[in-house]
Amino acid sequence: MARTEGAARATPLQGDAEADVVVIGGGFAGVSAARELDRSGVSVILLEARDRLGGRTLNADIGGGVVGSLGAQAASSHHSHMLELAREVGAETFPLPYKGKGVYVQDDQRMEVDIPDPSRPQPPWEQLFATLRQWDKMAQEIDPDRPWEAPHAWEWDAQTAITWIAGNIKDPFTQAALAGMVRAANAPPQKTSLLSMLYYGRANEVGWAADHTFLRGWQRCSQGWQTVAERVGDRLGRGRKVYTSSRVREVRQDETGVTVRGDGFRVSAKRAIVAMPPHLMGRLDYDPPLPAARQALSQRVPLEGGYQALAVYNEPFWFKDGLTGHTVSPTLPIPGTLDDSPKDHSCGILLCLTNQLDDERLRTATPEESRELHLLSLEKYFGPKARKPEAFYFKDWDTDPFSGGCIPHFTTGALTSCGMTLRQPHGRVHFSSTEQSSRYWVHMNGAVHSGKETAKHVLDRL
């Protein structure tokens, strides 16, 4: 495992503290909420259980000033909240490579394909883009603020995405490609509801059939996205307003305020923001207890896609071979890769995206066997050179106690039965995360948007 930023600067809270607002969670929702409150002149304390900030972003120190991504990797050019935050703290962004071909592998068949142009799809992409346009048309009836009120919400929420794909698409290539897209963006298609999948496209505003779906205009961060969160924490003030290694266990409230308790500390505030994924929010001890619908929500928005790995090479040799580094496979243990090389190409890095819970081969593999499966998949995509990286890093998000996975999705029935509680406060306790954002949910941009919006709601009530 690579050394990560922030751990050496852990600043736990000890004893009693007081503020207007206490923010629980130091991912992008939490640091964005704290930043907005601080800018408005409100006293704020942010508490993060990890020894670092950044949530589901994670820098890997490769050496020589090179930073790899073991968490969220890129932000679309449409993600203005995230890109503005990066610029504000002096972080450099640069585009993902787009010149060259992608690689598609199905069983023993390997194809080098041009990255499809949504405006001029060529074989074998025509039906794929026709279906994506159909999804976007269906999603037009969804209000991102209230997706559960869509005219077909109950019908769509009762079936999984893969059920719809299997029942409406006959071409095997298009079936596999659609399932792969849903898996990459919105978790396993056999688990996420059709409404959740359509809501994803609608909430991201540009839809499924847009250029950004195939990574046109997506931006990487030279310093790593985790650095953006760490710099926001630095500006707020570590040891004064921002505390890491400070795990909250209890949230108590009455008519006068909120009291938050953890191991060796207590914070009193007028209001609290719990900036955590829904499935983790339910692990805190609340008094009074959370409403039944909110408790149910915490069980029905799981995180998937919990394993990321980086293979590091002396150079990005795939560029010389006319490839972008972007790959997809519905049959390999590693269903896709992205180029994660530094801007100057001083070394080559391939980011492997997978979900060991979604693949029997990985689910039962030892760490050594898992590494071998990664390398075998890379060899299938890129040839024998990919078989021998100089270094190999990994992060298992599923076993991270403060994440429990990476990519969220709503299971069947979740949005229509308890989605209305997503952004509802519980008395003086408010909730924020990318899962609870009405725009750009799943992405870092959704977390920043959620944090800013939640801060505004809190300010209106102070």
Asked whether 243 and 53 are in contact (CB, 8 A), the reply is no
Predicted confidence (pLDDT) at residue 52 exceeds the cutoff of 50: yes
For residue 191, give the 3-state DSSP assignment. coil
Q: Are 22 and 260 in contact (CB under 8 A)?
A: yes
Please indicate whether residue 48 or residue 301 has the higher confidence score (pLDDT). 48
User: What is the token pair recorded at 66?
Assistant: 């090179």
Q: Is residue 139's pLDDT more than 90?
A: yes
Whether 7-56+225-302+409-461 and 127-214 share one fold: the answer is no
pLDDT at 1 over 50: no
Q: Which residues pair with 252 in a beta bridge?
A: 259, 287
The rounded distance, in Å, linking the Cα atoms of 38 and 232 is: 11
| Residue from 435, 195, 451 nearest 298 by CA | 435
Tokens for 262? 């953890």
Q: Region 71-81: what's the mean pLDDT? A: 91
Tell me the pLDDT tens digit for each residue of 195-236.
999 999 999 878 888 755 566 778 999 999 999 999 999 999
Helix segments in 267-314, DSSP class H: 278-281, 292-300
Instruction: Specify the pLDDT at position 90.
Output: 97
pLDDT at residue 180 in the model: 81
Report, as an integer, the average pLDDT of 65-91.
94
Higher pLDDT, 116 or 290: 290
> Considering the domain 127-214 in this protein, what is its CATH number?
1.10.405.10
User: Would you say how long the chain is, in residues?
Assistant: 462
Closest listed residue to residue 179, CA positions, set 249, 133, 131, 119: 131
Residue 436 predicted with pLDDT over 50 = yes
Say whether pLDDT at 17 is over 80: yes
The pLDDT value recorded for residue 35 is: 98
Mean pLDDT for the stretch of residues 436-445: 93
Domain ranges of the chain: 7-56+225-302+409-461, 127-214
pLDDT bin (cut points 50, 70, 90) of residue 355 is low
What pLDDT score was predicted for residue 143? Answer: 96
b/e 409-429 (16+ beta carbons within 10 angstroms → b):
bbbbbbbbbbbebbbebbebb
Q: 380 with 279: CB under 8 angstroms?
A: no
Tell me what pLDDT residue 2 has.
47
More confident residue, 3 or 100: 100
Q: Calculate the alpha carbon distances from 242 to 9, 61, 194, 246, 428 in Å.
A: 11, 23, 39, 10, 21
Provide the pLDDT for residue 356: 54
Residue 449 pLDDT > 50: yes
Report the share of the chain in percent with pLDDT over 70: 95
Over residues 33-42, the pLDDT tens digits come to 999 999 999 9
Does residue 362 carry a pLDDT above 80? no
Average pLDDT over residues 269-291: 96
- In the CATH hierarchy, which top-level class contains the domain 7-56+225-302+409-461? alpha beta
DSSP per-residue string spanning 92-123: -EEEPP-SSEEEEEETTEEEEEEPP-TTS--T
Mean confidence (pLDDT) of the chain: 91
Long-range contacts of 237-243 (CB under 8 A, 24+ apart): 238/9, 238/11, 239/11, 241/19, 241/34, 241/38, 241/44, 241/45, 241/46, 242/11, 242/26, 242/34, 242/45, 242/46, 242/48, 242/53, 243/11, 243/12, 243/13, 243/45, 243/46, 243/47, 243/48
